[in-house]
Amino acid sequence: MIPDDLEVIDFNRRLKSWYLENHRPLPWRETKDPYKIWLSEVILQQTRVAQGLPYYERFTEQYPTVFDLAAADERDVLRLWQGLGYYSRARNMHFTARQVVADHNGKFPESSEKLLKLKGLGQYTAAAIASFAFDEAVPAIDGNVYRVMARIFGIQSDMLSNEGKKEFWALGRKVISQEDPATYNQAMIEFGALQCVPASPNCTVCIFNDRCFAYAHQMQGQLPVKIKKLTIKHRFLNYFIIKQGDRLAMHERRGRDIWKGLYDFQLIESKSIAATPDQLTNPDPIFQNVLQNGRLTEVPKVYTHILTHQRLQVRFWWLEIPGAERIDLPQGMAFYNHEEVEVLPKPILIDTVLREEGYL
Ligand code: ADE
């Protein structure tokens, strides 16, 4: 179903007129500033527009230029990101801002090829910035666009495989409008978001229903083909919220694990969910001492928290230290008062528990 040149012209004409009539006015579509376009694309990865929009507004207000973002404290960036998930995106974004300032005098490279060399920028994001900001004729193929292409042009290869991807990108390079690649890319994304939606698209009103492979073969539910090789890891986390007065003991998570850079509590991971704290082993004498000096109260609920590759079951105990006497805390931990806890970047689960427990 590779379209010939005339079909490409016809496809582009229809797509553009659909876009001009139907698109949502979104702030990143009103700018040619590569920094703001890049911000929007990082925020919108794995995030719906409705959820991402307020974050885009907050980030562009707080950090109006790449210099502002580069100069920011990582903690503040993570705090502003809180709730969007996939925190490595925020850390990479911050790193990239510094890279753009340090290596490019704060100017984003002006081609998709050079943009690809920046940290955290994949083929899609590099193409999106190059086309939206610099009008380069490169297709920007994200999840929405894979779906639109697979259905209309009948591409049945696995969009997650390398060969499949090559096929989509080759077709994208053929179909993209050379005159107005920016509008073409926005239109494909928007068409996938509004018309060619994942479940139950309303094909009777679709402008392409006379030439759509999926509609002709009633294969909207089968296309695009996505073969997932995802294995989900089950983890059991047991948190002790050490509390003295209004202060909580927290520390920054480090190392190669989830929630890096965010703050959490004393954690013991176990092989299954522990019903009582004495089923958990933690040889740290400092923690044992805190445990002996504190009063334990269980948070009755077991929280289930789903991440992309992990399913967490999480239990919390309050561990209240009476009085105001100084007590040694486990390595890396420090006490933070109520106002400090409020502004520290935290996994959303921890924020939720502190709110449900009436602390925040
Ligand atoms: N999702 C990713 N990029 C987008 C864009 N530019 N407009 C709308 N949704 C998007």
User: Does 114 map to a domain?
Assistant: no
Instruction: Spell out the residues 6+ positions from residue 189 whose beta carbon is closer than 8 angstroms to its own.
Output: 140, 142, 144, 145
- Cα angle: 93, vertex 97, 101; to 5 degrees: 165
User: Does 246 map to a domain?
Assistant: yes
Instruction: Tell me, using a 6 A CB cutoff, whether residue 142 lines ligand 1.
Output: yes
The CATH number assigned to the domain holding 306 equals 3.90.79.10
User: Does 139 map to a domain?
Assistant: no
Pocket test for ligand 1, best of 22, 40, 142 (most atoms within 8 A of CB): 40
User: Does 272 map to a domain?
Assistant: yes
Q: Give the pLDDT means over successive 10-residue stretches in the chain (360 positions).
A: 91 98 97 98 93 98 98 96 90 97 98 95 97 98 97 96 95 97 98 97 97 96 89 94 97 94 96 85 90 93 93 96 94 96 96 96
The structure's pTM equals: 0.77
User: Does 221 map to a domain?
Assistant: no
Quick check: 110 and 138 in contact, CB under 8 A?
no
Write out the residue range of the structural domain in which residue 257 sits.
233-356
Distance (Å, rounded) from C-alpha 249 to C-alpha 226?
Answer: 44
Quick check: 324 and 335 in contact, CB under 8 A?
no
Nearest CA to ligand 1 atom 3: 41
Instruction: Spell out the residues 6+ positions from residue 174 whose beta carbon is closer than 8 angstroms to its own.
Output: 2, 3, 8
Instruction: Tell me, using a 6 A CB cutoff, whether residue 41 lines ligand 1.
Output: yes
pLDDT at 34: 98
pLDDT at 231: 82
Instruction: Pick the atom of ligand 1 nearest to 37's CA.
Output: 6
Quick check: 260 and 253 in contact, CB under 8 A?
yes
Indicate the DSSP class of residue 336: E
pLDDT at 281: 85
Distance (Å, rounded) from C-alpha 88 to C-alpha 46?
Answer: 13
User: Does 312 map to a domain?
Assistant: yes
* Catalytically annotated residues: 41
Q: State the DSSP H helix or E strand holding residue 320, giving kind and residue range, or none if neither.
A: strand 310-320
Number of domains present in the structure of the chain = 1
User: Does 279 map to a domain?
Assistant: yes
Mapped onto helix, strand or coil, the DSSP state of residue 45 is: coil
Instruction: Tell me, using a 6 A CB cutoff, whether residue 189 lines ligand 1.
Output: yes
pLDDT at 278: 85
